[in-house]
Amino acid sequence: MASKDTKFIFITGGVVSSLGKGLASAALGACLQARGYKVRLRKLDPYLNVDPGTMSPIQHGEVFVTDDGAETDLDLGHYERFTGVAARQGDNVTTGRIYSEVLAKERRGDYLGATVQVIPHVTDMIKEFIGSYAGEEDFMLCEIGGTVGDIESLPFLEAIRQFRNEVGAARSLFMHCTLLPYIPTAGELKTKPTQHSVKELLSVGIQPDILLCRADRDIPEGERRKIAQFCNVKPSRVIAGLDVDTIYRVPISYHNEGLDREVLSYFGLPYESEPDLSLWEEIAQRVREPEGTVRVGFVGKYVSLPDAYKSIIEALNHGGIANRVKVSLEWVDAEEVESTEDLAGMLGQYNALLVGPGFGVRGSEGKIRAARYARENKLPYLGICFGMQMAVIEAARNLVGLEGASSTEFGPCDNPVVGLMTEWSKGNRVERRDGKSDLGGTMRLGAYECVLQPGSQVREIYGKDMISERHRHRYEVNVNYREAFEKAGLRFSGMSPDGVLPEIVEYPDHPWFVGVQFHPELKSKPFDPHPLFTSFVKAALDQSRLV
pLDDT, tens digit, 9 for 90 and up, residues 240-294: 999 999 999 999 999 999 999 999 999 999 999 999 999 999 999 999 999 999 9
* Residue 474's pLDDT band (cuts 50, 70, 90): confident
Q: What are 70-92's pLDDT values in tens digits?
A: 999 999 999 999 999 999 988 99
In whole angstroms, give the CA distance from residue 296 to residue 37.
38
The 3-state DSSP class for residue 360 equals coil
- Catalytic residue positions? 385, 519, 521
Looking at the domain assignment, is residue 344 inside a domain? Answer: yes
Residue 1 counted as domain residue: no
Q: What is the structure's pLDDT at 429? A: 56
> Residues 189, 303: one domain?
no
- The helix or strand, by DSSP H or E, that contains position 364, with its residue range, turns out to be helix 364-376
Calpha distance 317→249 (Å, rounded)? 14
Domain count, the chain: 2
Which of these, 97, 74, 88, 1, lies nearest to 40 by C-alpha position? 88
Of 268, 283, 298, which closes a domain? 283
Q: Which CATH number is 458's domain given?
A: 3.40.50.880
Q: Identify whether residues 222 and 296 lie together within a single domain.
A: no
Let me know: does 402 contact 17? Beta carbons within 8 Å.
no
pLDDT value at residue 51: 84
Per residue in 34-59, pLDDT (tens digit) is: 999 999 999 999 999 888 877 877 77
Write the CATH number for 171: 3.40.50.300
Where residue 318 falls among pLDDT bands split at 50, 70, 90?
very high
Is it the case that residue 490 has pLDDT exceeding 50? yes
In a domain, 99, yes or no: yes
Residues 232-249: tens digit of each pLDDT: 999 999 999 999 999 999
Q: What is the mean pLDDT of the chain?
A: 92
Task: Provide the β-strand partners of residue 528.
Answer: 525
Q: How many helices (H) and strands (E) does the chain have?
A: 19, 25
Residue 274, Cα to own-chain centre: how many angstroms?
30
pLDDT tens, position by position, 502-513: 999 999 999 999
Residue numbers of the domain that contains 409: 290-546
pTM exceeding 0.75 = yes
216 and 349 together in one domain? no
* Domain end residue (candidates: 283, 309, 327): 283
Q: Is the pLDDT of residue 190 over 80?
A: yes
Whether 13 shows a pLDDT value over 50: the answer reads yes
pLDDT tens, residue by residue, 429-460: 555 555 555 455 567 899 999 999 999 999 99
Is 261 in the same domain as 295? no
Structural domain contains residue 367: yes
CA neighbor of 512 nearest in space, from 393, 383, 330 = 383
Q: Cα(19)–Cα(289) distance, rounded to whole angstroms?
A: 27
Q: Are 156 and 103 found together in one domain? A: yes
In-domain check, residue 350: yes
Of 231, 256, 283, which closes a domain? Answer: 283
Q: Are residues 323 and 434 in the same domain?
A: yes
Distance CA 100, CA 67 (A): 23
Give CA separation, 101 vs 47, 355, 522, in Å: 15, 38, 28
Provide the pLDDT for residue 148: 93
pLDDT greater than 90 at residue 301: no
DSSP letters for 155-222: HHHHHHHHHHHHH-GGGEEEEEEEE--EETTTTEE--HHHHHHHHHHHTTT---SEEEEEESSPPPHH
DSSP 517: S
Q: Same structural domain for residues 182 and 162?
A: yes
Structural domain includes residue 166: yes
Overall average pLDDT of the 214-236 stretch: 95
> Helices marked H in 440-530 — which ranges?
457-462, 482-488
Whether the Cβ atoms of residue 383 and residue 532 lie closer than 8 Å to each other = no
324 shares a domain with 263? no
Residues 331 and 235 in one domain: no
Q: At what angle do helices 386-395 and 364-376 cross, to 10 degrees?
A: 60
Q: What is the mean pLDDT of residues 160-179?
A: 96
Task: Choose among 403, 385, 545, 379: nearest CA to 475.
Answer: 385
Looking at the chain, the whole-number percentage of residues with pLDDT higher than 70 is 95
Instruction: Please tell me whether residues 297 and 244 are part of one structural domain.
Output: no
The answer to whether residue 322 is domain-embedded is: yes
Q: Where are the alpha helices (DSSP H) in 380-424?
A: 386-395
Is 305 found in the same domain as 157? no
Rounded distance, CA 349 to CA 330, Å? 11
Residue 193 has, within 13 A of its CA and on its CB side, a CA count of: 19
Which pLDDT does position 46 carry in this prediction? 92
At residue 85, the pLDDT reads: 96
423-426 and 429-432: which strand pairing? antiparallel
pLDDT in tens, 107-116: 999 988 899 9
Looking at residue 238, its pLDDT comes to 97
Can you give the pLDDT at residue 1? 45
Does residue 466 or residue 441 have the better pLDDT? 466
The answer to the question of residue 2 being in a domain is: no
* Residues 286 and 321 sit within 8 Å (Cβ to Cβ): yes
Pair 101, 47 in one domain: yes
CB under 8 Å to 193, separation ≥6 — which residues? 14, 15, 178, 179, 180, 181
Instruction: Dump pLDDT digits (tens) for 476-489.
Output: 999 999 999 999 99
pLDDT tier at 424, thresholds 50, 70, 90:
very low
**What is the structure's pLDDT at 546?**
76
